[in-house]
Amino acid sequence: MNFSKLRVALDGPSGAGKSTVAKAVAAKTGLIYVDTGSLYRTVGLYMAQHGIDAYDTEKIIAALPKVDIKLTYEDGQQCVSLCGEQVGDKIRTEQASYYASAVSKIPEVRAFLFEMQRSLAREGGCIMDGRDIGTVIMPDAEIKVFMTATAEERARRRHKEQREKGIEVSFEEVLESIIARDKQDSEREAAPLKPADDAIEFVNDGYTVETSADYIIGLMKEYLGAKV
Ligand code: DC
């Protein structure tokens, strides 16, 4: 089946497994996986590296013209560079997550990253994950999925991950922070986390990465089948 021009918008809260599932869909279908969270993380990294406070909105906006982000794709892998240097895992630290969440609330930051995401969307043949993909970035995507899992299920997965990394944290603490982040993401003024009116809501409690990916591929096949 030829998936090559399809655009899949995958939105949902953090911890629902969007990036892992999107990568699996991309590997099975040949679509390019675009991780939009990495862009907010990279803006955050720039601010952290330049000693700008995560909540100093004025300084963040003033610094934006100097934030030179380039995205490239090698063997289906997205590489992000900041001012000529690959960011690698530097955008995956707790500090980068904290900064990403703070800068993503600023409308000027969202506008700054808008065109980069739109130009990828125009090329098609991608599965893009984020918070506002189906509502703002690719409102015309052929497939829109709002993927979530209950807060308890996401807390269980995150708690397991952290224990495996040797981080001592209680299940209750993890659950509380997930509930707080959901609230912040859905109540913010700029591009709040909410499903597009025409998105399919997929609660993946009890699904594995494999079966979640198959569910989305099923929607893609259904779409193409209906067009024949
Ligand atoms: O998906 P992630 O955890 O890498 O996202 C990092 C932060 O960026 C998170 O706080 C939400 C924000 N984000 C956003 O506001 N819009 C997007 N399209 C993607 C991420």
Task: Return the residue whose CA atom lies nearest to atom 16 of ligand 1.
Answer: 131
The whole-angstrom separation of Cα 81 and Cα 84 is 6
C-alpha neighbours within 13 Å on the C-beta side of residue 12: 28
Ligand 1 centroid distance, CA of 102 (Å): 10
Greatest C-alpha distance within the chain: 55
pTM reported for the whole predicted model: 0.92
Q: What is the DSSP letter of 93?
A: S
End-to-end Cα, the chain, rounded Å: 11
Ligand 1 centroid distance, CA of 103 (Å): 10
Ligand 1 atom nearest 193 alpha carbon: 15
Strand pairing report for 77-82 and 85-86 = antiparallel
Element (H, E) at 63: helix 57-63
104 lines ligand 1 (CB under 6 A): yes
Q: Can you give the pLDDT of all 228 residues of the chain as single tens digits?
A: 688 889 999 999 888 999 999 999 999 999 999 999 999 999 999 999 999 999 999 999 999 999 999 999 888 789 999 999 999 999 988 889 889 989 999 999 999 999 999 999 998 899 999 999 999 999 999 999 999 999 999 999 989 988 998 888 899 999 998 888 788 778 888 877 889 999 999 999 999 999 999 999 999 999 998 765
The whole-angstrom separation of Cα 86 and Cα 84 is 7
The dihedral through the CA atoms of 183, 188, 193, 198 has a sign that is: positive
